[in-house]
Amino acid sequence: MAIGYKELKADILQRIVQGYWPPGSLLPGEVELAEQHGCARATVNRAMRELADDGIVERRRKAGTRVRMAPMRQARFDIPIIRKEVEAIGATYRYALLSRDEVNVPDWLCGRLGVSRGESVLHVECMHYADHTPYQHEDRWIDISVLPAARTADFSAVGPNEWLVAAVPFSTVEMSFRSTAADRVLAAHLDCAEGAPLFQAERSTWWEEQAITFVRLTYREGYRMTTRY
């Protein structure tokens, strides 16, 4: 029977605790660990991701995974299904697709995702509602060279957030948060006054060094985000 990610995680953690991989050590790559344990690379990725979430190792794109000099507690941010998030507060969920276009990747996004100029990306804009009140504006870019199935995905019924979570795994996520003021477009979508304070989250996602998606999520004043560590 192939080893599961929980068993692999426990084995790696035991080696770290016993000093086989001391603090600062560079761990073997995912391919090497998969061959050593006779498991899929995705199993190794899941184990490493949880060890990183637990603050035991540090993962850096193109630089590998190292044992932290000291374990660090980290806040954990899940990628939520917006429909479930709305339903969890006892509200009725509604979704609306605003636009979808296949375009050349804009210059600013090349730097954010590490993709080349001239590539095609899918740009999807949509709204999520709670009890008919605007809940979230989603402005998303999907790299269709990595995920060509997005070209034919029906985002008129199911939003790209929910589709992506079901369609593709991720190995690296970068998130940032900021406050912003509503411009004319966001004010219209979120049914608020221009200049009103808004909460905005940006998230970039990769799978094995390949860019998957960048999304900008904007919420009206009063939105609450909860995490755990």
CATH number, residue 122:
3.40.1410.10
Q: Which pLDDT score is estimated for 229?
A: 58
The CATH number linked to 62 is: 1.10.10.10
Say what the pTM is.
Answer: 0.69
Q: Which pLDDT score is estimated for 55?
A: 82
The answer for residues whose C-beta is within 8 angstroms of residue 227's C-beta and 6 or more apart is 75, 76, 77
Residue 9 lies in a domain: yes
Number of separate domains in the chain? 2
Q: Which pLDDT score is estimated for 181?
A: 96
Measured CA to CA, the distance from residue 203 to residue 173 in angstroms comes to: 7
Run means of pLDDT, 10 residues per run, the chain, 229 residues: 84 87 90 90 91 86 83 62 91 96 91 82 96 96 91 92 84 88 97 96 86 94 77
Q: Verify that 205 and 134 share a domain, yes or no.
A: yes
